[in-house]
Amino acid sequence: MDIQLTINDMPLTVPEGMSILDAARTINIDIPTLCYLNLHEMNMNNHIASCRVCVVEVEGRRNLAPACSTPAAAGMIVRTDTPRAIQARRTMVELLLSDHPKACLTCAKNLDCDLQALAADLGVRHINYEGEISEFEIDTSSLAIIREPSKCIRCRRCETMCDDVQTVGVYSAVGRGFGTVIKTAFDRPLHETSCTFCGQCIAVCPTGALMELDQTDKVRKALNDPSQFVVVQTAPAVRVALGEGFGLEPGTIVTGKMVAALRRLGFDRVFDTDFGADVTIMEEATELVHRIKHGGRLPMLTSCCPAWVKFFEHQFPDLLDVPSTCKSPHEMLGVLSKSYYAKASGIDPKKMIVVSVMPCVAKKYEAARPELAQGQETADVDIVITTRELARMIREAGIHFENLKDEEFDHSLGESTGAAVIFGATGGVLEAALRTAYEVLTGETLEKVEFEALRGMEGIKEAVIPIGERNLRVAVTHGLGNARKILEKIQAGESEYDVIEIMACPGGCIGGGGQPYHHGNVEILKARANAIYQEDRSKPLRKSHENPAVLALYKEFVGEPYGERAHELLHTSFMKREKL
């Protein structure tokens, strides 16, 4: 049912139940927000209204109303631009700033801070309120996320994202009034909680209270050590987002410029995680076929996302046998760099440093998992930096990114297919696996390689894929809250799927916690996804099992996919973790 109301003398018709904020946006009226999260693509509403920055005047009401949580009503007359409303917003921001560190110049979020931008938009030039400043210890315990509560403005975005969207439940507001602080249960260090390190709390934090663990100094130290052979690899989603760090439009493909920039930074080899993705498909598709042919455990779940892996280890330890045992693509390429490539090139693996550039904060934690170094003298991957960290390194080095000429990845661990690059978008891993599984199961050539039913931003996508005489029942989900729904079905014996892809972040890796901030703009994620599929279409080979460099790897070094040597190098194990 639609209703009619008036905002700033403009009549409009909107669906009943829509907030004043969203109603105003339909007629291009911008009301400033801070605690509000745009969760419509996730079919959720954010009604915390803790910051009161979006207050408006509603005729007939004495008090100002928060636009984000006040439903529009029939006949309502709203003013968003009165002196009273504007001054109230300015006062709220001044109060927030009065209890905020004045260290903007040295903050990692400088010039990308919502609080900073809001203060500028509202013309806050003087803070009229001076009082006690909250001080808390910085939590540097985890291998992925830094918590600096003194910078927290208690907007509770992280709590909404962690509890309501991701359903992990790590953060909670403790205390009242000025003493309120967002904490973990019993104030545990982050590494002692059920945190998956997905980094979505970082993605929505409006200040520098939550940031990734910066490892750029480690990279520079390695690059300046002449005794080390430093290899870098880049994930599929990085190439469609890195350009945003230099003012380019979201979805701009910068693969060649990225490679050129990495060479100028001094890396000895620039490899492509897409090669590891092609190898992942060789293993994962073969594992799926093996389970189908031999009555193995179904459904099989993908295991490329380390945040999702840690999620089921904490939340669903009874399902440890369901996910594929494949390592993630960057871990596969890491171990192959230190074994296959090192042997062929006469390089001592102990002298090799592998750096991964990832869209993901959880990859930092993943690289330190002890089981990912089993049987090896060193870890598969030594250092992980995010897309944002790489952009900073390029700027710090004085490289004019937009003027670089395109260069190609080094061979052979830089060769890949279109199936590999779509790993960066939700549905891409499963689509890539089906391109190979179809031909393995049927012995026939798959002419149409696009599986459109697996694409898009819907939280859970389902499809039935005819493969020979079998109808393969598949599902794709992104966001850990959606993953929970799928896993609870499996637990209850209600799942009819054969294979399921799960990614922790919205949109998959393109929306990873280490990507340039999208500030809730889903159109940015869609632009990145479209670029991923454009890159796929431009590839001469679009099926992982057609990659000649991958075929050579198996012939010369690994042997059969899913075989003994493959298990030793390319597969891993999972463990039951306490839910905290």
* 408 to 125, 270, 332, 417: CA distances (angstroms): 49, 9, 21, 14
542 backbone φψ class: left, alpha, beta (φ>0; ψ -120 to 50): alpha
Task: Give the integer Cα–Cα distance in Å for 451 and 438.
Answer: 12
| DSSP-assigned letter for residue 479 | S
Closest by CA to 219, choosing from 110, 342, 364, is 364
Task: Give the integer Cα–Cα distance in Å for 523 and 515.
Answer: 15
Closest by CA to 432, choosing from 224, 276, 559, 555, is 276
Task: Give the integer Cα–Cα distance in Å for 12 and 76.
Answer: 11
| Rg, C-alpha atoms of the chain | 25
Q: What backbone torsions phi and psi does residue 182 show, to the nearest 5 degrees? A: -90, 120
Q: What backbone torsions phi and psi does residue 159 show, to the nearest 5 degrees? A: -65, -45
Structural tokens at position 97: 């700033």
The answer to whether residues 342 and 348 touch, using CB atoms and an 8 Å cutoff, is yes
**Is 513 buried (19+), middle (13-18) or exposed (0-12) by CB count in 10 A?**
buried
Residue 347 C-alpha from the chain's centroid: 34
Structural tokens at position 557: 């070094």
| Residues assigned a catalytic role | 284, 287, 304, 324, 363, 366, 371, 509
Cβ neighbours around 232 below 10 Å, total: 29
E-strand spans in 73-217? 77-79, 145-147, 171-174, 181-184, 210-212
For the CA atoms of 312, 313, 319, 320, what is the dihedral angle to 10 degrees? 130
| DSSP-assigned letter for residue 133 | -
Beta pairing class for 383-386 and 470-478? unpaired
For residue 492, give the amino acid letter. A
Q: What backbone torsions phi and psi does residue 171 show, to the nearest 5 degrees? A: -100, 145
Q: Is 500 helix (H, G, I), strand (E, B) or coil?
A: strand
Structural tokens at position 568: 């030793």
Cα of first residue to Cα of last residue in the chain, in angstroms, is 44
